[in-house]
Amino acid sequence: MVELVEDPSLAPPMGPYCYAYRAGNLVFLGGTPGTTAEALMVDGIPKGKMAGETPGRADMAAQTVQSVEAIHHATQLAGGNWKNALRFNLFLEDWKEIDGFLRSYRSAIGVANPAETLIGYGLYQPSMIMEIDGVISLSEIKPLGGPGYGAHPYLPPHAGRQAGDLICLSAVLPIDNDGKLIGRGSAQAQTRQIMTNLGTILHGIGANVKDVVRYRVFISDLRHYDDVVKEMTAAAGEEALRAIVVAGIPIEGALVMIEPTAWLGKKEYFSGPGNARAVRIGDVVFTNGILPVENNEVLFPDEAAKQTKNVLGNLSKVLGAAGCGIEDVCQSQVTISDFRDYDDYNGVYTGFFKFPYAARHTVRAGLGGPSHTGLRYQIEATAILNASKTGKVVTAKDNFYHRRVALGRRA
């Protein structure tokens, strides 16, 4: 059984997820918006109220500070050290808010200086305009340098962070050492530049692209999918796991952005049903972006609940092949194409994951390749061997999601 910490000062989650899950040598942080502990009642149903929220106006500074303070507090409760932050993923609903977000975020994070990926995603509530998730190391970390970082106000300040054999890199963009965009108008040229930049970063620590075990790939338009995959395969082969989504990229003119994770030790890859794949690195297991596809065909087009059941079943099987169970998942990244599916997918999700749940974020973005019509759901997962027996979970004392579901059912 995991050790459970229920903290009354944390805002209740709006879904079946926790704030932090400590297992092995890592603390995984769930997607945390700037939600206060006060419920906003909508038609008699409780939803999260955003910090600084007033009718018709969201407050970026208040939400950002609230989010950072919450994940900092959850990190401490889980036994992590803030200065050993490995990676933060930063989600924005609207690029018009980017300057205010980055100003508030950089001021709020203090001694934390993680690898960063800044993405434009659709977020769950209309008043929710930012969200952060991340990973904290329980051991000391080392900074990594690379081309172009810090040369543009919207770029991460550095290339990434290393904890032992684990390397978490900031999002790699198609830029030169001065932060200038390369390959304008060509997704192929931009992907080629990204893979060149990645090789430079890894070479600086005695590694290469063959050490990358997982890529998160963000493209600005579905039409770039095939070009990006072709260039990535030419540069690094097909062994590493991938998750590809259509999402906003912070640099004007950038058509693609790639977030790599590398491992310097032994790697063991596994295949499951459908497109499910996993890699085991030490006691950590990563999966790819698992989709409801088989033989490159979409299963149950536009049926979110059935797609979710298929994907989570395949996730369970590929994790089993890698030596752990779905109950050992510590963090998941869920992408759905329509938030009207939120409760349907959660209804299936809670049949596979049990309280106190894994850390998780759920965002809206485009999914799949050009031939994949009707996709509604994707999940990436990170599991730690025996996490369900030795882990520590931090969550809130209350839960808006369960209260909302219970009230909705009574209605």
Query: What's the rounded mean pLDDT across residues 381-398?
Result: 95
Using CA atoms, how far residue 319 sits from 144, 249, 326, 377, in Å, is 31, 31, 7, 18
- Least reliable range by pLDDT among 12-16, 150-154, 213-217, 276-280: 150-154
pLDDT digits (tens, 9 = 90+) for 177-203: 888 999 999 999 999 999 999 999 999
411 pLDDT band, cuts 50/70/90, is very low
Inform me whether the pLDDT recorded for 335 exceeds 70.
yes
pLDDT digits (tens, 9 = 90+) for 200-252: 999 999 999 999 999 999 999 999 999 999 999 999 999 999 999 999 999 99
3-state secondary structure of 94: coil
User: What was the pLDDT predicted at 259?
Assistant: 98
- Least reliable range by pLDDT among 78-92, 231-245, 359-373: 359-373
Query: What's the rounded mean pLDDT across residues 281-292?
Result: 98
Residues with Cβ within 8 Å of residue 389, at least 6 apart in sequence: 1, 2
Inform me whether the pLDDT recorded for 409 exceeds 60.
no
- The vertex-261 CA angle with 257 and 265, nearest 5°, equals 155
Identify which has the larger pLDDT, 364 or 178: 364
Cα–Cα distance between 87 and 161 in angstroms, integer? 8
Tell me the average pLDDT of the chain: 93
407 pLDDT band, cuts 50/70/90, is low
User: What was the pLDDT predicted at 47?
Assistant: 72
User: What was the pLDDT predicted at 177?
Assistant: 85
User: What was the pLDDT predicted at 44?
Assistant: 64
Instruction: Single out the residue of 252, 260, 258 nearest to residue 180, CA to CA.
Output: 252
Omega before residue 273 within 30° of 0, cis: no
Query: What's the rounded mean pLDDT across residues 261-289?
Result: 98
Inform me whether the pLDDT recorded for 410 exceeds 60.
no
Instruction: Single out the residue of 280, 125, 251 nearest to residue 180, CA to CA.
Output: 251
Three-state SS for 296-339 is: CEECCCCCHHHHHHHHHHHHHHHHHHCCCCHHHEEEEEEEECCH
User: What was the pLDDT predicted at 16?
Assistant: 94
Query: What's the rounded mean pLDDT across residues 337-365?
Result: 96
Cα–Cα distance between 330 and 381 in angstroms, integer? 8
Label the pairing between strands 212-219 and 241-246.
Answer: parallel
- The H or E element containing residue 236 is helix 225-236
